[in-house]
Amino acid sequence: MMEGKRRMAHDDELRDIKKGPWKVEEDEVLINHVKKYGPRDWSSIRSKGLLRRTGKSCRLRWVNKLRPDLKTGMKFSADEERTVIDLQAQFGNKWAKIATYLQGRTDNDVKNFWSSRQKRLARILHTSTAPSSSKSHKTTKHLQTPPFDFIPSLKATKLEEEFAASSMETVPFGEVVYPSPISAVPVEQQPYVAFPQFPMLPPDYPPLLEGQDFIGRLGAPNFLDDELGHSALGTAQVPIAPSFQASGTSESHDAVDIDSLMDDDFPPIDLFDQIEPLPSPSHWS
DNA sequence: AATCATAGCAACCGCGTCTCT
DNA sequence: AAGAGACGCGGTTGCTATGAT
């Protein structure tokens, strides 16, 4: 491994290719090139002797850092967060595609944002399952947020239409909001309507299997902020399947205070073992 | 104040796809 | 039509800043 890296570095030296952080002077050269010829012919930058960088590296630098319309140094807003979450559910890890819906964000931005988020989720889940964590030790790769298809109501076209008609009007707390799938039109073609509030499951939502609801909620925007999602969920009452209730409680789908789900015993230690691997987007129908 | 853990970001790599000749 | 080079994408790595202990 180390040997391979050393050899690669040696090869690069032979080819006189520079790597690593960009200097201001290099940026200037690149910007001038784009001003003259536009964002293309990346490899000619090196062949003309303007920079010792590969065309690939030049393109990346331009796309991710030098492009004039970038929102550099700005954290993702709640709206952007919702957008990413929903589009990731729709498209999977198609970061470039998702980035087209976000003004001033690059695929790298989206990818980094998502990966940070996944790490946080993983850590929080791991923490909640810590007492017997050795049993369900999985990598973050398995921690994709479930697609919102996961929630059956998303497929209810009538509800979708109703939601579309009601647009993004403020909904009184406690009233069910049915999310509408994002229309597959990039930002430059159609103003994007951000994913709506998602405080509760619909009343007709079927009983949940162990672990499902918790995981589904992890996909909600800002779930991780504000004391583990309390702000997002409020004191929402959620139906729980009988199998998930404490023994001796009613058989009916009683509502359970969300706070009780945040006890030390939650989520169940075998949470991850309950989750099927997600289908790839191409298999979603 | 020093050390460690974590988050966030920038950049690289491999590979698939596109375009040009 | 086929091959070569350019381009674009997703995954991964490494560095730095920041916060916690």
| Rg, C-alpha atoms of chain A | 23
> Residue A52 CA to B7 C1' — how many Å?
32
Give A21 CA → C19 C1' in Å: 26
Q: Is the CB of A56 under 7 A from strand B?
A: yes
According to the model, what pLDDT value does residue A48 have? 85
A56: Cβ under 7 Å from strand C? yes
CA atoms within 13 A on the CB side of A249: 13
The amino acid that residue A164 corresponds to is A
In the numeric block, which tokens belong to residue A74? 């700005």
What average pLDDT does the segment A90-98 reach?
86
**Cβ proximity of A106 and A71 under 8 Å:** no
Q: Is the pLDDT of residue A106 over 70?
A: yes
Q: How confident is the model at residue A116 (pLDDT cuts 50, 70, 90)?
A: confident
Residue A148 above 50 pLDDT?
A: no
pLDDT at A50 over 60: yes
Q: Does the nearest atom of strand B lie within 7 Å of A68's Cβ?
A: no
Which CA distances in Å does A206 have to A99, A188, A263?
34, 38, 24
**pLDDT per position as a tens digit, A220-277:** 444 444 333 333 333 333 322 323 333 333 333 333 333 333 333 333 333 333 333 3
Asked if A176 and A203 count as a contact pair (C-beta separation under 8 A), the reply is yes
Q: What amino acid occupies position A89?
A: A
Candidates A241, A210, A234; CA nearest to A220 is A234
Range A113-137 average pLDDT = 62
Nucleotide closest to A99 measured between CA and C1': C9
Q: Name which residue leads in pLDDT, A198 or A48.
A: A48
Decide: A258 and A267 in contact? Cβ < 8 Å: no
Element (H, E) at A83: helix A78-91
Q: Which residues, in sequence order, are CB contacts of A282 under 8 Å at separation 6+?
A: none
Residues 65-94 of A with CB under 7 A from strand C: 93-94
Percentage of chain A beyond pLDDT 70 is 38
Nucleotide nearest to A75 (CA to C1'): B8
Band of residue A96 on the pLDDT scale cut at 50, 70, 90:
confident
pLDDT of residue A228: 38
CA distances from A153 to A82, A242, A246 (A): 18, 21, 27
Strand C bases, protein C-beta under 7 A: 5-13
A38 CB inside 7 Å of strand B: no
Quote the CA–CA distance of A242 and A91 in Å, as a whole number.
Answer: 34
Q: Which of A24-33, A42-51, A75-84, A160-169 has the lowest mean pLDDT?
A: A160-169
Nucleotide nearest to A58 (CA to C1'): B11
Q: Cα(A170)–Cα(A152) distance, rounded to whole angstroms?
A: 23
Domain spans of chain A, in order of start: 2-66, 79-283
- Residues whose CB is less than 8 angstroms from the CB of residue A85 and which lie 6 or more positions away in sequence, other chains included: A145, A195, A219, A220, A221
Provide the pLDDT for residue A245: 32
Q: What is the distance between the alpha carbons of residues A151 and A79, in angstroms, rounded to a whole number?
A: 21
Strand B nucleotides, any atom under 7 Å from protein beta carbons: they are: 6-14
List C-alpha distances in Å: A111 to A241, A263, A274.
Answer: 35, 32, 26
Strand ranges inside chain A, DSSP E: 237-239, 255-257
Distance A136 CA to B14 C1' (A): 31
Residue A75 (CA) to nucleotide B18 (C1'), in angstroms, measures 34
Average pLDDT score over chain A? 56
Distance A155 CA to B5 C1' (A): 42
Residue A219 has what DSSP assignment? T
Give the percent of chain A with pLDDT over 90.
Answer: 1
Is strand C within 7 Å of residue A42 (CB)?
yes
Q: How distant is the alpha carbon of residue A243 from its chain centre?
A: 30
By C1' distance from the Cα of A122, the closest nucleotide is: B6
A161-210 per-position pLDDT tens digit: 333 333 333 333 333 333 334 444 555 554 433 333 333 333 333 333 33
pLDDT on residue A70: 86
Q: Which of A145, A142, A123 is nearest to A133 (CA)?
A: A123
CATH superfamily of A2-66: Homeodomain-like (1.10.10.60)
What pLDDT was estimated at residue A249?
33
In angstroms, the CA A175 to CA A233 distance is: 12
